[in-house]
Structure 1
Amino acid sequence: MATKKRVAVVGTGTVGSQAAWRLAARGADVVAYDRFAPGHDRSAAGGETRVFRNVQTDDGRYVPLVRHADVLWQQLQAETGRELRKLTGCLFMGPADDPEMRTVVDVIAEHGIDHEVIDNEALAKRFPQFRVDDGDLVVLDRRAGFIRPELTVQTAARRAEELGARIRRYTPVREVRPVAGGGVEIRTDTDTERFDAAVVTPGPWVGDLLPDLPWRVDVYRAISAWYVPNEDNRAGEERPGFIRRGGAIPFYGIPSPDGLSVKLGVSQAHHKPVDDPDRLDRTVAAEELETFTEIVRRHLPGLNPDPVRLSVFMEGYTDSTRPLVGPLPGCDDIILLAGFSGQGFKISPAMGDIAADLALEGRTSQPIGFISTDGRTAA
């Protein structure tokens, strides 16, 4: 009988929890490490909801990965009996001549995405909670919706454990180093352990764990703000997620699962850099809310402009805004997944499956050439 391949997973957040699940499901001997515990709110995997969408505003090459993730979302829900994702649709809005809105149109045409174009008159009747400008294009991605991030991370991690994975909670990894002749050593504060391969998904701590990484992953502080409507929601009213591109302040929003509030977030250009992920400033100053207030008053007139809840998270961005997926240079046994820059949650099951491919087989059939570390120029 063949010996199980022993694989470490460093970080059990958005992607790491999925990697642990997919590796354990394929028979690997999995040990996962986290400086906190699955589902914590100290990194990027928080805020109650994340957008799931097929339509892309920047690069249509993500669509096949989203479709692979879609299948795995359904599988994880079926295996666990938990509703991790709800399909409510997602509206894309912005000037028709904006480059990102043109990309929306092109991606829909290229990939045959189920959608609906909504004119301004129809929007006012069907979705009165939104206000658009003359010349705006509005497109509904029908097979879109929201994901529950904290629940998803905990559910994927728990499923991995049910399949035999071991998770070492509150155990920061201090070093990941290749071993001469093959394999990887993982060093923590208490011991050093050897593995055949390691999947490294450290989120905003990537620079601390891999200081010699040839690519930059800059960490930014993202604010989420929740708002309640001025009036009770109408019975049967459609409440899709929404993404606005173009203009001075691109933003997105997701109705809360409880149906009472709406979460807003703004584009990376409005995020502050984070120098030390262990010292994230979680206090939101009054002046930081001015951008949100302008969004609400101009585009979301049905919301009270005073937020009822604020949260702060971290996101990692590469110079190209495309994530890093694949082996570290000179070490095929260390698989890195980092810098997902707002792209991570919707495709996280696919990324976990791809990580398992690379760790167990050394290759994947998924189309990751545009985000792969292989042949990628150093920053």
Structure 2
Amino acid sequence: MATRKRVAVVGTGTVGSQAAWRLAARGAEVVAYDRFAPGHDRSAAGGETRVFRSVQTDDGRYVPLVRHADALWKQLQAETGRELRRLTGCLFMGPADDPEMRTIMDVIAEHGLDHELIDAEALAKRFPQFRVDDGDLAVLDPHAGYIRPELSVQTAARRAEELGARIRRYTPVREINPVGGGGVEIRTDGDTERFDAAVVTPGPWVGDLLPDLPWEVSVYRAISAWFLPNEEHHAGDERPAFIRRGGIPFYGIPSPDGLSVKLGLPQAHHRPVDDPNRLERAVAPEELEIFTEIVRRHLPGLNPNPVRLAAFMEGYTGSTRPLVGPLPGCDDIVLLAGFSGQGFKMSPAMGDLAADLALDGHTDLPIEFMTTLGRTAA
């Protein structure tokens, strides 16, 4: 009988909670650590909703990973009885000649993805909540919608515990050290434990935990703003998530309450964070100007004054592709970091990938295009 592997998971957020679930499901002895607790809102996993979409806007090579994640989202919902996703569709809008809109069409064609093309005239009739310009094109991704991040993280962590994992909440990890002859030591303020392998998913704290990492992950402060409609929605209204390209790019997600809409911006509009332990959570009035401009130009049905604001942190690599794989010179430490705003929709697949690498030393998932750190393929 094969020896049962003992695996540490450092960080139980977006990816770490999924890794703990997938490792425990495969029979590993899992001990997970978090400086807070699964589902906290101090990094990137807060904000009530995240977009799930089958159509990828910048790199079609993510499509197989999202398909794998899609199956695991369904599995996690079935195992727990929790509604973690709601498929409302996702509407991509922008000038037909915009390079990113052309990329969307190329990805759809390459992977044979379900979609619906909607011209500006039809869009104005079907989705009057959006104001479009002449020459705009819309593409509806029907197998898309939103994920509930806090609920998803807590649910994956709880499922891992049901399968035997132990989660050490409010226990920051101070050091991760390889052991001569194989294995890893995890040091906290209270003790030091030895494991066969460690999956390290530290989010924006990657620089604190691994200061000598040869790849940089820059941390940015992302703002979310929630807006109420000027008039009551009708029960039959279609309310998909949406992503706007061209001009000022932005995205929006209908809230689970069926009333408000959350808006967010891409990295170019985020401020850098010098210290992830000192995130400025208050939003200044001047930071709202761009949201007001977006609402007045493109979303005439919303009141331009937000009813809720929140700030979060996201880690970006220079290439925007995540760091994935064992650390150079130490196959027993598997790092997943720097998802550059792309992580939540495919987080179960990343959890499966982490389990592959920690338990088997390789994976069949197609991740060669990412910033792979060490040996990842069989």
SS at match of 1:319: coil
Structure-2 separation of matches of 1:99 and 1:65 = 24
- Give the deviation of 1:374 after TM superposition: 3.6
Quote the residue 2:320 is aligned against: 321
How far is the alpha carbon of 1:77 from its aligned partner? Answer: 0.2
1:127 maps to amino acid = F
Distance 1:323 1:134 in 2: 37
Supply the distance in 1 between the matched residues of 2:317 and 2:98 (Cα, whole angstroms). Answer: 23
The 5 A counterparts of 1:291-370 are 291-370=290-369
Unaligned runs of 5+ in 1: none
Corresponding residue for residue 289 of structure 2:
290
- 1:301 partner letter: P
Structure 1 Cα separation of the partners of residues 345 and 233 of structure 2:
27
173-182 vs 24-33, which moves further: 173-182
Q: Deviations over 1:4-43 (max 9, x none)?
A: 1000000000000000000000000000000000000111
CA apart distance, 1:130: 0.5
Q: Work out the CA distance in 1 between the residues paired with 2:374 and 2:210.
A: 19
CA shift digits 1:345-378 (9 cap, x unpaired): 00000000000000000000000001142469xx
Describe the SS at the equivalent of 2:187.
strand
- The alpha carbon displacement at 1:124 in A equals 1.1
Q: 2:125 & 2:246 partners in 1: Cα distance?
A: 24
Partner Cα separation in structure 1 for residue 297 and residue 374 of structure 2 = 45
Which AA in structure 1 matches 2:238? E
Q: Which residue of 1 aligns with 2:191?
A: 191
1:194-215, Cα deviation, whole Å (9 max, x unpaired):
1000000000000000000010
* Cα distance in 2 for residues equivalent to 1:14 and 1:265: 18
Give 1:59-74 correspondences, 5 Å limit. 59-74=59-74
In 2, Cα distance between equivalents of 1:320 and 1:203: 17
Tell me the distance in 1 between the aligned counterparts of 2:354 and 2:135: 43
> What's the C-alpha RMSD, in Å, of the aligned pairs?
0.9
Q: Could you say which residue in structure 2 is the equivalent of 1:208?
A: 208
Rounded Cα–Cα distance in structure 1 between residues aligned with 2:3 and 2:109 = 47
Q: Which residue does 2:226 correspond to in 1?
A: 226
**Aligned AA for 1:187?**
R
Does 1:138 pair with 2:122?
no
Q: Tell me if the contact between 2:35 and 2:173 (Cα under 8 Å) persists in the aligned partners.
A: yes
Deviation at 1:95, TM superposition (A): 1.5
One-letter amino acid matched to 1:358: L
Aligned equivalents of 2:95, 2:209: Cα separation in 1? 42
How many pairs are equivalent? 375
Q: Percent identity?
A: 86
Partner of 1:51: 51
Shift of 1:235: 1.8
Contact 1:93 1:242 in 2 (8 A): yes
Residue type at the aligned position of 2:335:
L
1:271-290 Cα shifts (integer Å, max 9, x gaps): 00000011000110000000
Q: Distance in 2 between matches of 1:169 and 1:2?
A: 30
State the distance in 2 between where 1:288 and 1:24 align: 43
Partner amino acid, structure 2, of 1:365: D
Distance 2:201 2:116 in 1: 36
How far has the Cα of 1:97 moved from its partner? 1.7
**Matching residue of 1:163:** 163
The equivalent of 2:115 in structure 1 is 115
Measure the CA separation in 2 of the matches of 1:236 and 1:132. Answer: 21
2:78 corresponds to 1:78: yes
8 Å CA contact 1:174, 1:187 repeated in 2: yes
Partner of 1:39 in structure 2?
39
Secondary structure at 1:118 match in 2: strand
Q: 1:134: Cα distance to partner?
A: 1.7
Mapped partners of 1:215, 1:181: distance in 2: 26
Q: Distance in 1 between matches of 2:233 and 2:290?
A: 25
> Is the partner of 2:372 in helix, strand or coil?
coil
CA distance in 2, matches of 1:137, 1:325: 35
Which AA in structure 2 matches 1:320?
A: S
Measure, in 2, the Cα distance between the counterparts of 1:370 and 1:88.
30
| Equivalence map 1:365-376=2 (5 Å) | 365-374=364-373
Alpha-carbon distance between aligned partners in 2 of 1:263 and 1:176, rounded to the nearest angstrom: 38
Unpaired runs of at least 5, structure 2? none
Find the residue that maps to 1:8 and give its secondary structure: strand
Contact 1:130 1:299 in 2 (8 A): yes
Contact 1:86-1:145 at 8 Å conserved across structures:
yes
**Counterpart in 2 of 1:273?**
272
**Is the 1:328–1:373 contact (alpha carbons within 8 Å) kept by the matching residues of 2?**
no
Normalized against structure 1, the TM-score is what? 0.98
347-356 vs 94-103, greater mean Cα deviation = 94-103
Distance, in Å, in 1 between the alignment partners of 2:373 and 2:275 is 28
- Displacement, 1:301? 0.5
Residue by residue over 1:176-227, the C-alpha shift from the partner in whole angstroms, topping out at 9 and shown as x without a partner, is: 1111111111010111111000000000000000000010100000000000
Using the alignment, how far apart are the partners of 1:172 and 1:307 within structure 2? 35
Deviation track 1:247-297 (CA, whole Å, cap 9, x = no partner) reads 1x2100000011110000011100000000110001100000001000000
The amino acid that maps onto 1:89 is: G
What secondary structure sits across from 1:199 in the alignment? strand
Matched to 2:341, the amino acid is G
Deviation at 1:121, TM superposition (A): 1.3
TM-score, reference length from structure 2: 0.98
